[in-house]
Amino acid sequence: LGVPKVITPEQFTDPTLDPISMMTYLTYFQYAIPSGNPLAGISAAGPGIVGDKANKETNFVIRGRIPDWAPLAINITAPNGNKVNFQQMQRVTSSTAIRYTPPIPGNYIIEVLVNKEHIKGSPFTAHHI
């Protein structure tokens, strides 16, 4: 799980163990990395991923627990190759909202990367009319 073993199971059962030490150690597990790909459960959904109207603000949500150690990168490319500015709403434990306004009609390429790896389905093609 990626949690340092600073307290042994035997110490946990020792009644003289300081309760604060035990609670502190248990907090490490909120950042534990499950075996396999920790990014497998992250996905994106919303009109900004599939398509909407050009010149109208649209959005999408990235769902799933993104570890604090894993940087989130988003690239939105317009049909003419220009990068599109976006706003990332506050990142919370299980979701991150992204807002942007496609300036022209056409197909937009949206890349969502966590720890430099594409999430499931990325890159997305959103057709804005």
pLDDT tens-digit series, residues 7-30: 888 887 888 888 888 888 877 776
CA dist., res. 111 & res. 125, Å (int): 9
Q: For tokens 């317009």, what's the residue?
A: 78
CA dist., res. 64 & res. 113, Å (int): 13
CA dist., res. 118 & res. 112, Å (int): 6
Question: Which percentage of the chain shows pLDDT scores above 90?
Answer: 47
* Greater pLDDT, 62 or 13: 62
For the ranges 18-22, 50-54, 98-102, the one whose mean pLDDT is highest: 98-102
Task: Find, among 5, 1, 73, 67, the residue nearest to 34 by Cα.
Answer: 1
Query: What φ, ψ does residue 10 adopt, rounded to 5°?
Result: -65, -40
